[in-house]
Structure 1
Amino acid sequence: MLSPALITTAIAAAVFTIPQTASAAPVTYQSESATISQGVVESNHTGFTGSGFVNFDNVTGSYVEYTVNAAAAGSHSLVFRYANGTTANRPLDITVNGTPTVSGLGFPGTGAWTNWQSVTAQVNLVAGTNRIRTTATTSNGGPNADSVTVDVAGTEPPPGPGDTPVAKNGQLKVCGTKLCNERGQVVQLRGMSTHGIQWYSQCVKTASLDALANDWKADILRVAMYIQEGGYETNPRRFTDMVHGYIEEATKRGMYVLVDWHQLTPGDPNYNTSRAKTFFTEIAQRHKDKKNIIYDIANEPNNVSWANVKRYAEEMIPVIRAQDPDSVVFVGTHGWSTFGISDGQSETSVFNNPINATNFMYTFHFYAASHKDNYLNALSRIADRVPVFVTEFGTQTSSGDGGNDFAMSQRYIDLMKQKQIGWTNWNFSDDSRSGAVFKSGTCAGSNFTGTGPLKPAGVWVRERILNR
């Protein structure tokens, strides 16, 4: 997807949550009731819960220590609710019962001190009482801390755990030319892609993700992290932490999450190999035990030969496998992930020189108002020969704007259903263009359910996700 005009938006932040009683249900602990060192309880910024929040007071070493209860020993999610009205990350070190557990958990700017967001960390707790200390590591102190919520970690959300996509299918794998669940049954995942998280992080929050999982019944969330265009290269720590948070949010809801290394310009993925190795090593190491993570190492290679894309893929896949040997890896193809069709070539360049790896899939992109029968027919041929997943498509032109061609789009949907090709639609935002599913201004609010907040493309794609 071509880069949109730069839009300043609040970057997704974090939520502090703490359990109060020994219960399997999530429990929230208020920061103002915790043990506080070198910080102060305040209430001068609206939007907090409870009776106030904790200001770390711009002091290195200031901390908030929560005393929480766990019903049973094991892995738990800590969801921190916070605000950070600056543009600087305000990281915190997390210790559990005196043991350093998470180093430098990022709390990036939220756009305003009244804009409360959340970030998640995963830790091991003992049964009964636990002490969770969050300590500021810079002279800026920490963010304003509202609360922390403690929940038992897992791939399913508390309500109806057996009904989520991950609960039903478990660890995915590639079998032949198809994507299969842990029992070897073919699955077709359907879901949405975020817009670039540097522009539209405000559209990926609790209410919208709840709607995607529960109202839309989506199987998968694609997290589009641009590398250039104001993305990862500008602040690797911030964007890596954002992706960590989105992975945890998808996990809580029992959705699969596709971590999209959204390289676009330059189009040769080898330009960013060093960055990609750093990013994917950390992501895979932290989330290797999850069953719901998929890695996409190259969004839309363009103006580059297939041989160079293949070389990059064969260098990157082992980097992920060293940390996470089981998860599926996606690889974009040349010609903006069209197997070279957009370059006037054919898919045979990939067929004749395949990537030397296992448990991976190639990706294909299309925009129905621009990409007609030659693309549709190519996708059909490709699906018969190699594993393929449509990680991005739109009902409009390739600009992500213009009129919707729903008739052509339906032909693609029918083909993908017939061939059991998974897909994620572009995009889950309120961008002004027709490809964004939400009406402009929707993401500033909290209503994301039903068809009321949706543009025509949003109504259409929601129906295609719902109607199995």
Structure 2
Amino acid sequence: MRGKFFYFLFFFCNIPIHLAVVNPPYGQLQVQGTYLTNSSGIPIQLQGISLYFSMWQPQYYNQNVLVSLKNQWNSNVVRAAMGLTNGGYVDNPEYNYGLVKAVIEGAINLGMYVIVDWHITYNVSYTPQAITFFSNISKTYGSYPHIIYEIWNEPTVTWDVIVNYANQVIPVIRANDPNNIIVVGTADGSGGPWFPPSQKLNYNNIMYTLHIYPDVFGGGSQEQVRTKATTAMSNGIPIFVTEYGTGSVWPNETLEVDEMAP
């Protein structure tokens, strides 16, 4: 995760978490061609907020915050960005799993989608831990249509390495959850799925990550990346933007406010 961070102070009464299921707005999501669609096959768009690394901002990993995101920010999805090192899941699995669990159950209670994000950047995937984590998550919550799996946030390895990792993690998820969307990170820190269509993964309901920031548009200008994305989709590669920022990855840079327009 990149960019500047804006801190908001939330004042709430305590809201107890009970798993009272509220259906998400579009039902069971699916991938039809290159589109994310609702349960009837009609293309839809999710909009919401990504939380920051779980171990560094745990105060936002609760249902109280999700209530605000849904009711005041009109979010229909939230991303639980579970960090791995520096106090994250690899160092403290029980604590970080509990934080993600609170967000998942809050989203189910409120009828929101939730992206369960293995939030690691660079060239280390922690594959054994990922297998354990996604096995547990899919066993526990895979029957709920609210769940979206993001199995590697920002890999900085080649596509063949990502494919090898995905082919170990995805079957573990699919053994418990045959339907929910799985988002697969792409090379260059999820700079986009710029691989040949013949190299797509052979699983159902898979999408590929593109992270967009004004000064790191997948290794090119904004227009170049838009052209690449259009080409990828015309080749049958579905794209899911799980991070989108209007600010530079560097401090004290100008916001690209024009990029906020739909």
Please report the RMSD computed on the Cα atoms of aligned residues, expressed in angstroms: 2.3
Superposition map of 1:82-121 within 5 A: none
Q: Distance in 2 between matches of 1:240 and 1:205?
A: 13
What is the CA distance between 1:382 and its match in structure 2?
Answer: 2.4
Per-residue displacement from partner, 1:268-318 (whole Å, max 9, x unpaired)? 43xx1100000001111010221110000010000x111110111122111
Structure 1 outlier segments of 4+, above 4 Å: none
Letter in 1 for 2:99: M
TM-score between the two structures when normalised by the length of structure 2: 0.87
**Aligned-pair CA distance for 1:208:** 2.8
- Determine if the alignment matches structure 1 residue 294 to structure 2 residue 148: yes
Q: Distance in 2 between matches of 1:186 and 1:273?
A: 33
Q: Which one-letter code corresponds to 2:78 in the other structure?
A: L
Instruction: Give the alignment of 1:204-283 within 5 angstroms.
Output: 204-265=61-122, 267-269=123-125, 272-283=126-137
Please show how residues 390-401 of structure 1 align to structure 2 within 5 Å.
390-399=241-250
User: SS state of the match for residue 232, structure 1?
Assistant: coil
Look up the SS of the partner of 2:199 in the other structure: coil
Aligned residue for 2:11?
Answer: none
Amino acid at match of 1:333: T
Q: Please name the residue that 1:367 is paired with.
A: 213
For residue 155 of structure 1, the aligned residue among 11, 17, 22 is: 22
Aligned to 2:189: 336
Q: Verify: 1:180 aligned to 2:37, yes or no.
A: yes
Q: Share of identical aligned residues, percent?
A: 34
Say if 2:33 is the partner of 1:202: no
TM-fit CA distance, 1:212 = 0.7
- Report the alpha carbon displacement of residue 357 of structure 1 after superposing the two structures with TM: 1.6
Q: How many residues align?
A: 249
Counterpart of 1:309 in structure 2 is 162
Residues 61, 99 of structure 2: 8 Å contact kept = no
181-190 or 205-214, larger mean C-alpha shift:
205-214
1:234 match: secondary structure: coil
Match of 1:171 in 2: 28
Q: Which one-letter code corresponds to 2:46 in the other structure?
A: L
Matched with 2:10 is none
Q: Retained in 1: the 8 A contact 2:134–2:173?
A: yes
* Letter matched to residue 362 of structure 1: Y
1:218–1:400 distance in 2 versus 1, CA, 3 Å? farther
- Pairwise CA distance, 1:324: 0.9
Q: Contact 1:155–1:291 (CA<8 Å) still a contact in 2?
A: no
Task: Give the partner amino acid of 1:359.
Answer: N
User: Mind listing any 5+ residue stretches in structure 1 that lack a counterpart?
Assistant: 5-14, 18-78, 80-119, 123-152, 157-165, 341-346, 415-468
In terms of fraction of residues, the more helix-rich structure is 2
Q: 2:231 maps to which residue?
A: 381
Asked if 2 retains the 8 angstrom alpha-carbon contact of 1:337 and 1:364, the reply is: yes
Task: Structure 2: state its 5+ residue gaps.
Answer: 5-13
- Give the number of the structure whose residues are more often strand, by fraction: 1
2-side partners of 1:3 and 1:220: how far apart? 20
How high is the TM-score relative to the length of structure 1?
0.50
1:361 aligned counterpart, secondary structure: strand
The answer on whether the counterparts of 1:332 and 1:362 sit within 8 Å (CA) in structure 2 is yes
